Chains A and B, each alone.
Chain A
Amino acid sequence: MKKVETMSAHCATTVNKSWFRKITALVMALCLTFSYGCAGNSQSSGTSGSPSASNAAAGKKFDGKITIGVSAGITGSIPMAGERTLQGVKMAVEEINAKGGVLGKELVIEVADDQSNQSVVINAVNKLASNPDVVAIIGPHLSGSVMAASDTLKKAKVPFLSQGTSPKLRTIGNEYLFKIRPCDAISAEVAAKYAVEDLGAKKVGISYNNNDFGVGGKGVIEAYLTKVGIPFVSEGHNSGDKDLTGQIMKLKNENVDAVISWTDDAESALTARQFYELHLNKPVITSTATSTKQVLDLIDEKAVEGFYSVCDFVITDPSAEVQDFAKRFQAKYGIAPDQYAGNNYSVTYLLADAITRAGKADREAIREALASTKGVKGLSGTYNADSNNELIHECKLVQIKSKVPQVIKTISVDVK
């Protein structure tokens, strides 16, 4: 008898529970929509808030607005890059507006989160390009994302300034794409040349990331080494790999004299740690990542001592402009700027300069002005547009000493 009662009580709770379940399911469904909705395209609030506040303080009146789009990976695999990009752009925009804006108009930005993801980036740039007020776009910053976004922006005729450095970008034939960092064809060759000429390597090991960036760099290094007749051995890894023992043991067995490592942030830290742990004991030249603070923070001082790195913007650059920028950025955000912040700060000024030179906030006129850029000073060098729409033709070789990158020399190539 008692059991029957328990059973019926159980039934009653089941009935009550079914309501609870329905509500929970509804909430979960909402969460799902919300989380993917957010992921897809939002984060796009005009950030005119803070600049106009500072302008109000300055008591200036603007004759309308000029909107520039920013496509950055605010969420996704490298959210730090997106955050620094935005900080750099916002700082430049505030400064420009405080000085009276561009063509008497207030500069505002519209941000789209591209998640550093090749499928999301298409939505992000579509959103920006479909806004007729957006005259130019800063970003997307990864070479792979640029490839994905290229057609959309070419059709919409929006000029965009990217940090993508892959040599592949030379071949996609998009006259609306402008590249604001030295192409890997330049920096990778600088690395290979340094290994052979300055370090006197007779056999070079190449450790590369199996993505557009790493494979592009590897191609350039291999082409140079083949040209000068130095034997080499290449070992690849994937983004997100956590163990490179296999690759490093191969390099050790091949008895290379120097290693060139061409990979992204997390993998650069891993490479340095495992080279040290497995006693590779050879000079190492790396891509930009190793000279950045966020990567150096991940590595023990001993593991990275004496590493060489090829980079463009470096915070220990003794030039007055860079030191001044670094100081102001530190004061504003409480952190040291990195290459994303520095380059995007600098490129915002370049864009403002191009709009001024164009004389009107028109996409086509701005593209033409950017393509005829000559001798505009930036933080990582002088912007000069060439036939590939590449704007920077110099890089710096640094050596890491006690976790501080020291500039050894600046190497520039001819503008073609």
Chain B
Amino acid sequence: MMESILQLIVSGVAMGFIYALVGIEYTLVWNSTGLLNFSHDKFIMLSAYIFAGTFVVKMGLPPAVGVIASLLVMFIFGMLVAVGIFNPLRSMASPIFAVMGTVVLGRIISEMVRLIWGPIPFTLPNYLTGTYQLGNIIIGRVNVWIIVISSLLVAALQIFFKTTKTGKAMRCVQQNKKAATLMGIDVSKNIVFTIVLSSLVCTVIGMLVIPLFTVDTSMANMIGLKGFSSGVIGGFGYLPGVIAGGVFLGVLENFSTIVLPAVYKDCVGFVLMIIFLLVRPSGILGHRKNLR
């Protein structure tokens, strides 16, 4: 039994870090635009297709080169989305316009992917596969990568937001766009920068989850929602909080299978999100001032 519990914790933490990565991306956009990007699960899927489908399978590039090429492509894609959707729609009467824009964009991306790469799911053989074993506890190689990369990413983003001028400007834009404009911050440019950054984070997620999720048009649907939950649970808008929320959610979900039938696993995350919204909207580590 002990072995089972340890295994559940390890798998939960590994899954939790994926939720956390997705939550980070929500937070990033939220922190600097005050908007939510509901198409980002499709960004993740798109980047997985670009990386695996085009660069590795079709062009036969080594994965390392594919990573750089995918980041470049998604950099340009993020820029187009920011210029074409976020900037024109963000200052309309209600933020709903921009949020709806992202929902529809997601739909367009997934149908576009189906037309370009076809409907058959595929995967990359021998890419980050394999497991490590400690005693009786097993952890996937890809999970170790995910944990390491997302920790580094959070640390880097945290330093960026706290210390650099651009990072501070991005936080400023989130708090008050008008005041930021009056202070001489170019809001539009800042939003382009944020969306590009978030699209790069999506690319990192997309490339990392391939061995676990396979490349499929609906590969990121569930982690999109769970990432949002982990953001709410951990404290929306606070990066370390999102990691805490993700890991908490991942482990709790796994533990729920001991007492509940396993089919209710997904409910746990969403019920927990509603409870947090009702009881502690600032999340586990959230700061009250981040709420409006």
Q: Which residues of A contact B (CB under 8 A)?
A: 20-21, 24-25, 28, 31-32, 35, 38-39, 75, 77-80, 82-83, 210, 235-238, 240-247, 249-250, 252-253, 265-266, 269, 277-279, 294, 297-298, 300
Contacts and interface: CB of A to CB of B under 8 A. Distances in A.
Contacts of A242: 15, 212-213, 222-223
A246 B257 contact: yes
A294 B89 CA distance: 41
Given A238-B266, A298-B214, A79 B107 contact: no
A266 B265 CA distance: 18
A77 B121 CA distance: 11
Interface in B95-115: 97, 100-101, 104, 107-108, 111, 114
B263 A243 contact: no
Interface string B83-101: 0010011011000010011
Given A245-B11, A297-B123, 10 more contacts: A21-B88, A38-B111, A80-B119, A80-B121, A236-B263, A242-B212, A246-B257, A250-B262, A253-B1, A277-B138
A39 B110 CA distance: 12
Contacts of A244: 262
B166 interface: no
A112 B217 CA distance: 21
A240 B222 contact: yes
Contacts of B118: 80, 83
Given A242-B223, A298-B121, A20 B262 contact: no
Interface string B117-133: 01111110100010100
Contacts, number: 113
Interface of B: 1, 4, 7-8, 11-12, 15, 85, 88-89, 91-92, 97, 100-101, 104, 107-108, 111, 114, 118-123, 125, 129, 131, 138, 140, 212-214, 216-218, 221-223, 254, 256-258, 261-263, 265-266
Contact of B123 (A21, A38, A82, A298): A298
Closest 5 CB pairs of A and B: A246-B257, A79-B119, A245-B11, A24-B88, A236-B263
A48 B221 CA distance: 36
Contacts of A79: 114, 119, 217
Interface centre among A28, A83, A253, A294 (most CB of B within 10 A): A28
B121 A250 contact: no
Contacts of A294: 120-121
A249 B7 contact: yes
Contacts of B121: 80, 265-266, 294, 298
B36 to A, nearest CB: 16
Contacts of A25: 89, 92, 97
Nearest to A235: B262
